[in-house]
Amino acid sequence: MKTIFCEIHLPHIRHNFRLLQQRAGHTRIVGVVKADAYGHGDVPVALCLQSEGCTHFAVARVHEGIKLRKAGIHGDILIMSGSFPNEFAALREFNLTTVVYCEENIEEMVREGISVPVHIKINTGMNRLGFRPDRLPWVYRTLTEAGFAVRGIMTHMACADEPGSPTIGAQENLFYRSLEPYFQEGMLGHLSNSAGIFTLDNLGSLARPGIMLYGGNPFADKTVDLRPAMTFKTKILQVKRVFPGEGISYGHSFVADREMLVATVAAGYADGYSRLLSNKARVLVNGQYAPQVGRVCMDMSMVDVTHIQPARGDEVVLFGEQRGQCIYASELAELMGTIDYEVFCGISPRVKRIYTGA
């Protein structure tokens, strides 16, 4: 019996992929499935995207790429955080493409005598990883002379989700000026994340949407027809009466001011339902909104169901849809002072993922 689980609706991921590919035109969409596909399950999502014609995938770590290869992903798999010497043999064995972003990384690869496909990352303003653009001639020459196949040049946008930001144009212009001397048939140039598909003038050869594949929207304007793929569900463990003056949960941060019907539900911060949501969030019970009350515990939390009168075992939706009503992950993110990326990625491995519409 499933007490708490995430339902992943694969047709919504298919829809989002098609929408983004249509928007991107001739630019090929990369399926960004790092961090277990933002908590949605990397293998099921990658196989779903592969069946839609996706030929390029991106992860952060080498072990993520190996997992995809073993699961039957045939396309190019890009390791965006690069690799260390103890991982070089696996790059070759599993035909993985690594990103190179610093001189020490090049020295390691040349010293180890490994020859694998690489993408060069340049830093155009994110200041996270990458070579300064003026170092690109040296990087390209050093890699090609050492026998590496330079398949692509990339960067990452810092403010693509802020339409009108001058940083967008500045990074885009610097990237394409830097890329121009090296552009040739087959060379991939890419800089766009989810938001960039809608704010950049030139998307390049590839675009790397992450959050939008899963139905998250980085913009305040929610007019894009994205469909959230995940619904976070649990069950009621107990329904009880609480009387005026009685406190609920640790520290009695909530004290009843009237007689209430309170449901204890099987969801806590060990499941990824953050303690920061205490006395702030709402859930769906039998198609009606119910406020969360008291501090969220490790395995449980409480909700006010006085107006609903549910029973033990009834379904509770923490975010997602139920009977025509919806709580978006972005609503929880705002209450937590974060972004929906973190909400998705923070759901614990002990929460089973169930796939529908395969």
C-alpha separations of 347 from 46, 158, 232 in Å: 19, 26, 9
Tokens representing 6 are 């995430």
How is residue 204 annotated by DSSP? B
The tens digit of pLDDT for each residue in 311-323 reads 999 999 999 999 9
Helix axes 103-112, 136-145, angle to 10 degrees: 10
For the chain, what is the mean pLDDT? 96
Closest CA relative to residue 352, chosen from 285, 240, 295, 272: 272
Question: How far apart are the C-alpha atoms of 340 and 213, rounded to whole Å?
Answer: 13
Backbone angles phi, psi at 143, to 5 degrees: -70, -45
Name residue 358's amino acid.
A
Question: How far apart are the C-alpha atoms of 274 and 339, rounded to whole Å?
Answer: 13
Question: How far apart are the C-alpha atoms of 97 and 143, rounded to whole Å?
Answer: 14
Mean pLDDT of 200-207: 96
CB 293 within 8 A of CB 304: yes
**Could you state, in order of their start, the residue ranges of all structural domains in the chain?**
10-214, 230-356
Mean pLDDT of 38-63: 98
Instruction: Identify the band that residue 1 occupies on the pLDDT scale cut at 50, 70 and 90.
Output: low
Mean pLDDT of 36-40: 98
Mean pLDDT of 61-76: 98
pLDDT at 306 over 80: yes
Give the fold, CATH level 3, of 10-214: TIM Barrel (3.20.20)
Quick one: what percent of the chain has pLDDT higher than 70?
99
Instruction: Identify the band that residue 223 occupies on the pLDDT scale cut at 50, 70 and 90.
Output: confident
Residue 273: per-residue pLDDT? 98
Question: How far apart are the C-alpha atoms of 232 and 273, rounded to whole Å?
Answer: 10
Q: 294 in the Ramachandran plot: left (φ > 0), alpha (ψ -120 to 50) or beta?
A: left
Closest CA relative to residue 260, chosen from 198, 306, 293: 306
E-state strands within 183-336:
188-192, 206-207, 230-242, 247-248, 254-255, 260-265, 282-285, 288-293, 301-304, 315-322, 325-327
Instruction: Please state, as a whole number, how many other Cβ atoms lie within 10 Å of the Cβ of residue 95.
Output: 13
The tens digit of pLDDT for each residue in 239-260 reads 999 999 999 999 999 999 999 9
The tens digit of pLDDT for each residue in 143-160 reads 999 999 999 999 999 999
Mean pLDDT of 6-34: 98
β-bridge pairing 288-293 and 282-285: antiparallel
E-state strands within 177-285:
188-192, 206-207, 230-242, 247-248, 254-255, 260-265, 282-285
Q: Which of 48-57, 169-178, 185-194 has the lowest mean pLDDT?
A: 185-194
Question: Does the annotation list 111 as a binding residue?
Answer: no
Q: What is the three-class DSSP state of 217?
A: coil
Residue 286: per-residue pLDDT? 98
CB 344 within 8 A of CB 333: no
The reply to whether 10-214 and 230-356 are identical in fold is: no
Residue 2: per-residue pLDDT? 84
Tokens representing 8 are 């992943």
Question: Does the annotation list 1 as a binding residue?
Answer: no
Closest CA relative to residue 44, chosen from 81, 96, 9: 9
Residue 151: per-residue pLDDT? 96
Closest CA relative to residue 6, chosen from 278, 194, 214: 214
CATH of domain 230-356: 2.40.37.10
Catalytic residues: 34, 250
Question: How far apart are the C-alpha atoms of 344 and 129, rounded to whole Å?
Answer: 24
Segment (H or E) for 333: helix 329-336
